[in-house]
Amino acid sequence: MATAAPESHLRENPFRLAQQQLRKVADTFGIDDRLVEVLRQCKKAVEVSIPTTLDDGTVRAYSGYRVTHNIARGPSKGGIRYHPDVTLDEVKSLAMWMTWKCSLMGLPFGGAKGGVICNPKRMSPRELEGMTRRFTSEIINEIGPEKDIPAPDVGTNAQTMAWIFDTYSMNKGHSVLGVVTGKPLTIGGSLGREEATSRGATFCLESALRMQQRGVEGLRVAVQGFGNVGAYFAKLIAEAGATVVAISDSSGGIYNPNGIDVAAAFAHKRSGGSIPELKGGERITNEELIALDCDVFAPCALEQVVTEENADQVKAQVIVEGANGPLTPAADEILDAKGVLILPDVLANAGGVVVSYFEWVQGLQEYFWKEDEVNARLREIVTRAFDETWATYQDRNITMRMAAYGLAVQRVAEATVTRGLYP
């Protein structure tokens, strides 16, 4: 039986929003319309059917996508997500954002993304493995270490990458370490990769606080989403001295103004528990978490959670976008008018792709770095990108998002002009 896409959590078409962002950046930074025409479209989008035998013997044909937005600065790079709400336009928008993210970080990559319409929480490990291996076989001509390099995203993890790596390598007849990043350490993964996105967000927040002549100590932080990014961000920021007052997952959250025991929550979630089951806090919904009284709000779940309907309820003075596109453009404008400092996704959650780049380099060299080396190089790249974005934000009197996108898009535009249009 075939799968149909359910009603999406997305309120607005994300690819149209990404294109509108690009248009706004082009107008602000004076980028040639001919370049905008090239950059507003994705280079390639592939849709595949993934027939998978389920544990009960039935066969289900899942739909999967792999999209490459741009390769002007190098091979394309981007995660694969497994989620019931995946749409082609969502994957296209995420691929475009990956292009800007890699560019802003100064990485020699373009942007790509992939997705499968499925609910991984309702699938057995055997079903997930079968689906992943068939998906890899269907897109095998699209990916490769010099072509397009997948990584984990929402609903996928190191094990998923191991299956892709093995399937690709079996087809090539030898191990190809650089085909994916986010692999387990035992098969060529990088130290520091698992918490890299969250560590990058932490470095970004620390840099913003430095500009405001403040420290992390005693900061009240609310974190929405307790997957890889949210859980590690809560853990790292708590270890740095902040008070994490609220956390949540897809089933709801808990709030404690005196602080939540993040280490206990981390262990509970890793053992398969849900956040609302935790003791030591008042149960809240994800909507209520957005409106909590706190200093920093970190949306680390899905896109478009803050919209024009609830943006005026946000009380935080700093927003750290751990997720991709968690604020709609209308919400952006409302929050900017309120004086909220937004650390945009292409800057705040780029730590993952930076350490993915490190893993790719280590795989190509077959020489692996120590963890403190990985973290030091990550800090250097994220801090430099932050400082460049902050300088543009101050000089031009624009938002941090517009500054980050402006720097990124200009670099891709310059690479496009330098290479020229073929033929």
Considering the domain architecture, whether residues 142 and 54 belong to the same structural domain is answered as yes
Q: Are 148 and 102 in contact (CB under 8 A)?
A: no
The residue segments making up the domain with residue 290 are: 196-348
Number of domains in the chain: 2
Q: In whole angstroms, what is the distance from residue 420 CA to residue 423 CA?
A: 9
Q: Does 7 have pLDDT greater than 60? A: no
Considering the domain architecture, whether residues 202 and 288 belong to the same structural domain is answered as yes
Task: Give domain status of residue 156, yes or no.
Answer: yes
Considering the domain architecture, whether residues 244 and 282 belong to the same structural domain is answered as yes
Q: Are 46 and 69 in contact (CB under 8 A)?
A: no
CATH of the domain at 300: 3.40.50.720
* Residue that is last in its domain, among 152, 185, 218: 185
Q: Does 277 have pLDDT greater than 80? A: yes
pLDDT in tens, 318-332: 999 999 999 999 999
Task: Give domain status of residue 191, yes or no.
Answer: no
pLDDT for 280: 86
Task: Give domain status of residue 202, yes or no.
Answer: yes
| 113-128 average pLDDT score | 98
Listed in sequence order, the residues at least 6 apart from 229 whose beta carbon sits closer than 8 Å to its beta carbon are 197, 198, 201, 300, 322, 323, 349, 352
| 116-138 average pLDDT score | 98
Considering the domain architecture, whether residues 163 and 229 belong to the same structural domain is answered as no
Cis peptide before 423 (omega within 30 of 0): yes
Task: Give domain status of residue 369, yes or no.
Answer: no
* Residue that is last in its domain, among 157, 185, 213: 185
Known catalytic membership, residue 172: no
* Residue that is last in its domain, among 185, 207, 227: 185
Residue with tokens 């892709």: 164
Q: In whole angstroms, what is the distance from residue 162 CA to residue 145 CA?
A: 15
Q: Does 83 have pLDDT greater than 80? A: yes
Average pLDDT, the chain: 95
C-alpha dist (Å) from residue 190 to 86, 170, 359, 361, 402: 28, 22, 5, 10, 32
The model carries a pTM of 0.94
Considering the domain architecture, whether residues 47 and 117 belong to the same structural domain is answered as yes
Kind of pairing, strands 110-117 and 59-70? antiparallel
Nearest by Cα to 323 from 55, 10, 65: 10
Considering the domain architecture, whether residues 112 and 209 belong to the same structural domain is answered as no
Catalytic residue, from 101, 113, 235, 269: name it.
113
303 — pLDDT class (breaks 50, 70, 90):
confident
